[in-house]
A and B are shown apart, each in its own frame.
Chain A
Amino acid sequence: MAGEAAGTSIGARRTTGRRRRARSGAARWRQIGFYLLVLIALAVSLFPFYWIIRTSLATNAEIAQGVEATGLLPSHLSFSAYVDDFTQQHFLTPLINSAIVALAATAVTIVVATMAGYALARMPIRGTSAILGFILVAGFFPVLAMVGPLFLLFKELNVLDSIYPLILAYLVYTLPIATWLLRNFFSQIPRELEEAALVDGATRIQALRKVVVPVAIPGVFTAAILAFILAWNDFAFAVSFLETPAHFTAPLAIVNFGQSNFQVFYNRIDAAVVIITIPIALLVLVAQRRIVTGLTAGSFR
């Protein structure tokens, strides 16, 4: 706590020795209190993850006995729930479905949002602020209000119960934040870079491809990470449009585990939860700074 320390030293210079001791005592207590709060925050954030990992490693018999018989630690580590997820619940298919849809939505988002973000930051377009306003409002559009009409549309087109129409629906999650983020990013790239290329006889497109895009790569990367997370996390569209378990996305499959079985296998459900959390947790650990910047620069959802 740098601020705290500086404050104490200013105070210490002015006060007598006795008060100084009292003050540093208080400061120490304050520091202990602060770290206590940090510990609580860490525990609340992370302990539930420990709990699902613990539950996922328990056998059906242990689950049936209840937590009071088994305690905080798993009595032994059983990976049978993970094996069951793939052999009996066929969880691999929904995982692949989710990966396809999320990656496709991310790809479309990046291409479309990079073009628009650049144009909105740099090109002489009339109505720029109106377009930006519309994109902002689109990001606020209630997803559940889209579900009915899109259901009818997909039914009409005979594409209900397929994962591919989800790619279109997911754009409502990903495009607004990605476009705003990239537009803000392009605004910060020095104009001179591009103008130099234009003076050298490059066309707009060439200048964009050779000069601007390389500089914009970090922004594009940030937008891609956020888009992937938002698409990977969808539940509302999947539960509305998909019917056949083989077409489910991973989140929908997990919810279905709990409902389709006569007996609820918490270890299987939690093993699947652990599996779909791993890529997201890795992404957060690797790209923490980017995610924070992206959220604050384009903050949506």
Chain B
Amino acid sequence: MSAHAASTARAQRPVRRRDGHGGSAADRRLGYALVAPVVVLLLAVTAYPLIYNVWNSFHRVNLSEAGAAQPFVGVENYSRMFGSSVWVSALERTVAFTAVSVVLEMIVAVVLALMLNHRFRGRGLLRAAILIPWAVPTVVSATLWKTMFDPRTGFVDYMLGGLHLPGAHTTWLAGVWTSWAAILIADAWKNVPFMAIILLAGLQVIPGEVYEAARIDGATAWQAFRRMTLPLLKPALAVALIFRTLQAFLVFDVIYIMTGGGPGVSTETLAFLNWQKFLVDTDFGYGGAISVMLVVMALAISAVYVRLLRQETA
């Protein structure tokens, strides 16, 4: 939810308190009954797997060892993970991918949001055009860009060749850096629209007088953007940034579909490694340790988010 919504919630709190005072015990019981299903269901799909992962991570749980007991192994899975160059390089790749994709996507999203904040002919068309890439399955965006980058049937090579640019006749998904480039483009194509929509909502709460005042003061467009727009856009930027950071950090689908982690292991991210440990190696102990670390890191990122939002609305 946006900072804007958080502040409306805050404004309504006194009203709720008054009502809560008058609320009968029956009302309260009904309230709990209405909230219970969502809490129970979400606990079932988050807390239960987390606890199960924690238990597994301290045991040897491997389905390929037929009929084996699941002995307690202490922190063996964790020490194996921290000592594993595979895990460390997956972590490095994940962090690098997150940083590069989030920064690039943020820049494009800011430009798009500023464009959509103008009233111009074709605005509705542009908004619909960027929403479709957001709404389609990642399978669609990844497959689509795989087709685009295919050396035989793809558009990218055809265009580069037609313009006599370097890069034509590249088997994009066979090289390490070209694979990452293709993944970044496919990922940005799908995710920039989401950021742009969040930022646009942030821009629309900024009153027009702010820009008028800046203009009358003789500020250039860049000065007005830096001094006025950017600070007022901070809450929306924080929301968009953290959502995307988490998504990018947990990237899986686009990697699985476009490169399968290859060439070699050069595009394997943490989430991809985790999936392999679970479903290829059926090693739920070691996989559990990787999962627990993944959850810890994701929670750390979302804690930053919650703190930022709280600062903004305080």
A binds B: yes
Q: Which residues of A contact B (CB under 8 A)?
A: 1-4, 6-7, 10, 34-35, 37-38, 41-42, 44-49, 51-52, 55, 58, 63, 66-68, 72, 112-113, 115-116, 118-120, 122-126, 128, 131, 133-138, 140-153, 168-169, 171-172, 175-176, 179-180, 184, 187-188, 191, 204-205, 229, 232-236, 239-240, 251-252, 254-255, 258, 266, 269-270, 273, 276-277, 280-281, 283-285, 288, 291-292, 295-301
Task: Tell me the total A-B contact number using a CB cutoff of 8 A.
Answer: 324
CB-CB nearest in chain A for B292: A145
List 21 A-B pairs, Cβ < 8 Å. A10-B215, A41-B115, A49-B132, A51-B144, A112-B37, A113-B38, A116-B39, A125-B32, A137-B302, A140-B302, A141-B46, A141-B50, A148-B288, A148-B291, A184-B8, A205-B30, A240-B275, A288-B127, A291-B135, A299-B198, A299-B243
B48 within 8 A of A: yes
Select one of B9, B153, B215 contacting A67, CB under 8 A. Answer: B153
Q: Is the CB of A144 within 8 A of B275?
A: yes
CB–CB A276/B34 < 8 A: no
For residue B145, CB closer than 8 A to chain A, the reply is yes
Docked-complex contact B2 and A145, CB < 8 angstroms:
no
Inter-subunit contact B294/A145 (CB<8 Å): yes
Asked if residues B41 and A175 are in contact (CB atoms below 8 Å), the reply is yes
B residues apposed to A, CB below 8 Å = 1-2, 5, 8-9, 12, 15-16, 19-21, 23, 27-28, 30-32, 34-35, 37-39, 41-42, 44-46, 48-50, 52-53, 56, 111-112, 115, 118-120, 122, 124-133, 135-140, 143-145, 147-148, 150, 152-155, 157-158, 161, 189, 193-194, 197-198, 200-201, 208, 211-212, 215-216, 239, 243, 246-247, 250, 252-253, 256-257, 271, 274-275, 277-279, 284, 287-288, 291-292, 294-295, 298-299, 301-302, 306
**Contact of B32 with A146 in the complex, beta carbons under 8 Å:** no
Give Cα distance in the complex from A118 to B37, angstroms: 13
Main secondary structure of the interface of A (DSSP, over half): helix
Q: Say whether A42 contacts B12, CB under 8 Å.
A: no
Taking the closest CB of chain B, its distance from the CB of A236, in whole angstroms, is 6
Instruction: Using CB atoms, name the residue of chain B closest to A6.
Output: B212
Given A123-B28, A251-B139, A135–B38 Cβ distance below 8 Å? Answer: yes
A142 touches B294 (CB 8 A): yes
**CB <8 Å contact, B211 and A3:** yes
* B211: A residues at CB distance < 8 A: 3
Contact A297 B2 (CB under 8 A): yes
- Tell which of A2, A133, A169, A280 touches B135, judged by Cβ atoms closer than 8 Å: A280
Return the chain B residue nearest A299 by Cβ.
Answer: B198
- The answer to whether B140 and A41 touch across the interface, beta carbons within 8 angstroms, is no
Partner of B42 from the list A148, A176, A255 (CB cut-off 8 Å) is: A176
- Shortest A46–chain B CB gap in Å is 5
Q: Which residues of A have CB within 8 Å of B246?
A: 140
Given contact pairs A125-B32, A152-B284, A239-B256, A51 touches B155 in the complex (Cβ within 8 A): yes
- Asked whether B295 lies within 8 Å of A142 as measured between CB atoms, the reply is yes
The answer to whether A184 touches B5 (Cβ under 8 A) is yes
14 extra interface residue pairs, beta carbon distance < 8 Å, beyond A270-B143, A288-B127, A299-B239: A1-B118, A6-B212, A41-B130, A124-B28, A142-B294, A142-B298, A145-B292, A148-B277, A149-B49, A150-B45, A151-B284, A258-B143, A292-B197, A296-B201
> Are B49 and A148 in contact (CB-based, < 8 A)?
yes
> Given the complex, which residues of A lie within 8 Å of B30, measured CB to CB?
119, 123, 204-205
Q: Are A45 and B147 in contact (CB under 8 A)?
A: no
Chain A residues with Cβ under 8 A from B301's Cβ?
140
Q: Is the CB of A144 within 8 A of B274?
A: yes
Once A123-B28, A144-B252 are accepted as A-B contacts, the answer to whether A38 and B126 lie under 8 Å apart by CB is yes
